Structure 1
Amino acid sequence: MDDAARDPVPQAVTAGEYVALLRDARRRSGLTYRDIARRASAAGHWLPPSTLATMLGRTTLPRERTVVAMLAAIGTPAGEVERLLGMRRDIEARLDERDRCETQPARDTADPRPGVDPAPGVDPVPPEPPRSRAPRPVRRWLRPALLAVVGVLTVGTTGVLLPKAVATVDDAPTADCPLVLRQGMYGPCVLDLQEHLVAGGLAVPVDGWFGPDTTSRVIAFQAMGGMPVSGIADGRVLDELADAPPVPPTWSEERIGKYLRLVFPEDPGGAVRVARCLSGLDPYRVEVVADGSRRWGLFQFSDTELSRLGVDGRTALDPGWNIRAARDVWSRAGGFGHWRCAPSP
């Protein structure tokens, strides 16, 4: 019996089986998630441990660029990289074909016999014209990335092959990402930042645009992590997002409403209305105003108010504290006149 018969090349026909192959490759490498992240970074990829853990913990087909980053980091031979990526593309094509079949319009159930008119008063429904399938986007980054893996390789002290250089990736976060991400930027580097914010428990639109919502979430993450609060995602923020546990689960609107009614029994409706107007009932909402100062949490306490109260942004983002502090203000002011908020139309 030849070697191929004794040790068949692993194959996968489903997304779950494909992820299992990747998990096995990671296990056989003997590298930890942090080791792989460091090696991927040295090769020009951005693959935080949390992203790797998420990919290997699911049964859905992972992104091609993430697969390339992991395979490069663990020193996978070039031929095996090509084979695994080809296998992934085959699975992706089958999934696309299945989705296309499932979304085909139902067959016309009208009487197909010639001369039979539709029911009186009912307009016949014209058949939907066949949709032309858009060509799959060309992954311009894939071939250069593979060439980099195939290209200059060195053997480290552990005998693991490591890529010495890697080509630039057009549409994926790489070493070409800016060292600092800030409001106004757009692109895949921001997209990855947003995905990590969401994974950490801070909901934000994942659209690749670093707008006020992303700034708000970065500030919240910095405050809750005890970091300097700037709203700018630098290397420390990205590292913390990759390694830190999720932020405490946010309160639901129902829980917020119940607590507001408990704390403001004299005017529960007014309390809910003001909090909704100020923050959309989002406990982690941080607004940056024109002068650069910030307003925090459900009742949008200002930096000046937090300083006077002797608390930091992390405390202000605790919905329980924020509501109780609002009650104190309400009691002193004799109502909600302290807050000015014009509800959205």
Structure 2
Amino acid sequence: MAVDASSELAQRLTTLKEATGCSYTELAARAALSRSSVHRYCSGTGVPPDFDTVSRLARACGAGRGELLDLHRMWVLATTRPAPGKPPEPALVPAPAPPPAADRPPPSRRRWNRRLPDRAAVAIFALFGLLVLNALSGSGPPRGGGAATELKAAACAAVVGLGEHGECVREIQVLLIQSGTSLTVDANFSTETRRRVIAFQVLAGLPPTGRVDDATRKALVSGRISMRTWSEERIERRIREVFRNPTAGDEAVHVARCRSHLDALWVGPDPDGGWGVFQLSDEVLGRYDGTQRVALDPEWNIQAAHWIWAEHRDFRAWPVCVSTSPTTPSTPRTAQRAPGHLRAGGHQHRPPSTPRAKRQRL
């Protein structure tokens, strides 16, 4: 028994869905559709109203160019032919026309009337085929939604990294900006772009390679990872609140500005990493039971910097920035204090678990 076009389309969409291993809810989130719509289209109880819906659903399943063209054929047939067992739409019966002046009616009129439905179907098929090809080639007016974004990203190389340039890099930069960060869009994969890619990968739970691979590209396209964070003004204000002494606060702001330009998502070039406002290394994170992801949280980063400062009540952990500080270093000032005060605020009196306990209360 032949399968009608709508059932064939539903079966193909179901096959694509099952290949992803996603539930209806997860697939709906990927395609920016409702769960009920995805279930209806995959079960065959409804046909998508336009091919853009089919395209978004198919690309969310990882469909390629050939599969999209095949799905377009099925969708056109499903929307132009009734399913078996369903009565066709009643045709309009034209009113009888007066007999022509000639002895016999022209045969071309009857042939045209018989071929009109077929020609209309072919014209519709050709029109939508042209739209699909334009979308696949990236031409035509820009469109919103995830489908066009996925299509551009899919045209990139398998891995995009430092030194590359072109429209693919421009697309990556735009997606990073849409996630909530600041970046220059120049179609050049510079160290600035690499820094933002690493921060995005850390926030997305991906290996921080600084290169855009398939997993990173999918996370960018999904739009579910937010890079929105504190402004420079808020970071500076919070540093001064944590480092309560005005002079220490000035020095702390100088160090943070020197290390990260007061950028909560700043990633340094050091081999062992440099994360967040105060550019905490992986070694420091291990000492305070932190992670790269939590280091990009400005609150935790500032608190951790205060723990480091409190060990000696100075900024010796950031020697390069201290040497350029316009303020007086805090070491001579602490050396003049009473020995009892040094013991109360120094490292010897602080229990080893204090930094971890402070972190848990944040």
Normalised to the residue count of structure 2, the TM-score between the two structures is 0.50
Offset at residue 231 of structure 1 (A): 1.1
Which deviations, in whole Å up to 9, do the C-alpha atoms of 1:285-333 show, x marking residues without a partner? 00122xx331000000112221222221100000000000000111113
CA separation in 1, counterparts of 2:152 and 2:227?
28
- Matching residue within 260, 263, 272 for 1:279: 260
Aligned position for 2:294:
315
Answer whether contact 1:199 1:246 (CA < 8 A) is retained.
Answer: no
The residue type equivalent to 2:300 in the other structure is W
1:170-249 mapped onto 2 (5 Å cutoff): 173=152, 177-247=156-226, 249=228
- Matching residue within 306, 316, 321 for 2:285: 306
Is 2:12 aligned against 1:31? no
Rg larger in 1 or in 2? 2
1:71-86 mapped onto 2 (5 Å cutoff): 77-79=125-127
| Distance change (3 Å), C-alpha of 1:231 and 1:145 | closer
CA separation in 2, counterparts of 1:306 and 1:37?
37
CA separation in 2, counterparts of 1:246 and 1:174?
16
1:53-68 mapped onto 2 (5 Å cutoff): none
Which deviations, in whole Å up to 9, do the C-alpha atoms of 1:91-123 show, x marking residues without a partner? xxxxxxxxxxxxxxxxxxxxxxxxxxxxxxxxx
CA separation in 2, counterparts of 1:213 and 1:262?
30
Aligned residues: 207
CA separation in 2, counterparts of 1:297 and 1:252?
13
* Identity, % of aligned positions: 34
Answer whether contact 2:181 2:227 (CA < 8 A) is retained.
Answer: no
Normalised to the residue count of structure 1, the TM-score between the two structures is 0.53
**Which has the larger strand fraction?**
1
| Distance change (3 Å), C-alpha of 1:316 and 1:341 | same
Aligned position for 1:256:
235
| Distance change (3 Å), C-alpha of 1:319 and 1:39 | closer
| Distance change (3 Å), C-alpha of 1:175 and 1:28 | closer
| Distance change (3 Å), C-alpha of 1:313 and 1:79 | same
The residue type equivalent to 1:178 in the other structure is A
Offset at residue 34 of structure 1 (A): 3.5
Aligned position for 2:26:
none
CA separation in 1, counterparts of 2:67 and 2:196?
27
CA separation in 2, counterparts of 1:143 and 1:196?
19
CA separation in 1, counterparts of 2:261 and 2:196?
15
Which deviations, in whole Å up to 9, do the C-alpha atoms of 1:255-290 show, x marking residues without a partner? 11211111011122211111111101100000122x
Offset at residue 211 of structure 1 (A): 1.2
Answer whether contact 2:260 2:266 (CA < 8 A) is retained.
Answer: yes
| Distance change (3 Å), C-alpha of 1:252 and 1:223 | same
The structure showing larger relative contact order (alpha-carbon pairs under 8 Å, at least 6 residues apart) is 1
Offset at residue 142 of structure 1 (A): 7.3
CA separation in 2, counterparts of 1:307 and 1:175?
37
CA separation in 2, counterparts of 1:217 and 1:323?
20
Which deviations, in whole Å up to 9, do the C-alpha atoms of 1:103-150 show, x marking residues without a partner? xxxxxxxxxxxxxxxxxxxxxxxxxxxxxxxxxxxxxx9799499xxx
- Matching residue within 282, 289, 295 for 2:274: 295
Which blocks of at least 5 consecutive residues in structure 2 are unaligned? 1-47, 69-123, 140-150, 326-362
**Which has the larger helix fraction?**
2
- Matching residue within 269, 272, 276 for 2:250: 269
CA separation in 1, counterparts of 2:134 and 2:55?
25
Which deviations, in whole Å up to 9, do the C-alpha atoms of 1:173-225 show, x marking residues without a partner? 47552100111111111111111111111222111111111111111111111
Aligned position for 1:42:
65
1:126-165 mapped onto 2 (5 Å cutoff): 145=137
Answer whether contact 1:44 1:175 (CA < 8 A) is retained.
Answer: no
Answer whether contact 1:282 1:297 (CA < 8 A) is retained.
Answer: yes
| Distance change (3 Å), C-alpha of 1:143 and 1:204 | closer
Offset at residue 341 of structure 1 (A): 3.6
Which deviations, in whole Å up to 9, do the C-alpha atoms of 1:218-265 show, x marking residues without a partner? 111111111122111100000011114242521012211211111011
Answer whether contact 1:215 1:232 (CA < 8 A) is retained.
Answer: yes
Aligned position for 1:331:
310
The residue type equivalent to 1:216 in the other structure is R
SS in structure 2 at match of 1:228: coil
The residue type equivalent to 2:236 in the other structure is G
CA separation in 1, counterparts of 2:66 and 2:319?
52
